[in-house]
Structure 1
Amino acid sequence: MKLIVKWLLSAAALLAVAYLYQGVVVSSFTAALIAAFVIGLFNMVLRPVLVLLTLPVTVITLGLFLFVINALMFWAAASVLDGFYVRGFGAALLGSLIYSVFGIVIDSAIERLFFKK
């Protein structure tokens, strides 16, 4: 149940990103659901490999390179999907930052909702 709620809220967050920032376009809620799934899949599979491969750069930049990796995951998801479009790397960077902020809020809300004491 927790996973489904997080997926639905992530799709809503993606629609909110598209609403707030014109560099990201999402055509429908269905496209947002698919895009949220693919972004989550890329973050689960590809992101750890990229973080490991770019560890020296990440250390030198004091972790700021992780923003670039997040943007690449966001941009890669947009490049393989119809109905989800990002207008370039700069748009992917800003869109992924906004999406990450929404993700933090979603994680906090889910934590409070499902793990009340």
Structure 2
Amino acid sequence: MKFWVRILINTVLFMALAGFLRSSFYVASPWVALLASVVLSLLNALVKPFLVVLSLPITVVTLGLFSIVINGVMLQLTSMLVGNDFHFNSFGTALLVAILMSLCNAVISNYVGHGRRSN
């Protein structure tokens, strides 16, 4: 259940960020955003661990900031797999979207899924 909530949150974030960054980030429809969200989650599960291990030395040297670059690479891979209906004008835009999505996901994850338990 938590997986699908994250997929829907990322879908909404893709649509919102595409609206804010109209000239540099394009999403054709909500269905394309949903597809991109699913593809991104699959890439994060299958490819990202290898990239993290390969880039571990530079990530340590930059005190973890290189992980933002890895997130930008994952978004660019998603763009390549989804096609022309989901694309960035530059890698800098992908980095900006990666930073904004990370911030939004951090804020949203504090409120989603932390319902009060009754003992």
Q: TM-score, normalised by structure 1?
A: 0.89
Is the contact made by 2:27 and 2:86 (CA closer than 8 Å) also made in structure 1? yes
Please list, as runs of the form range in 1=range in 2, the aligned pairs for 1:59-78 lying within 5 A after superposition.
59-78=60-79
Q: 1:102 aligns with which of 101, 104, 118?
A: 104
The alpha carbon displacement at 1:96 in A equals: 1.0
The alpha carbon displacement at 1:108 in A equals: 2.0
Question: Partner of 2:116: helix, strand, or coil?
Answer: coil
Please list, as runs of the form range in 1=range in 2, the aligned pairs for 1:75-86 lying within 5 A after superposition.
75-82=76-83, 83-86=85-88
Question: Partner of 1:63: helix, strand, or coil?
Answer: coil
Which moved further from structure 2: 103-112 or 27-36? 103-112
Higher helix proportion = 1
Unmatched 5+ stretches in structure 2: none
Separation of aligned partners in 2, 1:5 and 1:60: 34
Unmatched 5+ stretches in structure 1: none
CA RMSD of aligned residues (A): 1.4
- State the aligned residue count: 115
Q: TM-score, normalised by structure 2?
A: 0.88
The alpha carbon displacement at 1:24 in A equals: 1.4
Separation of aligned partners in 2, 1:38 and 1:25: 16
Which moved further from structure 2: 27-36 or 79-88? 79-88
Equivalent residue for 1:21?
21
| Percent identity (aligned) | 35
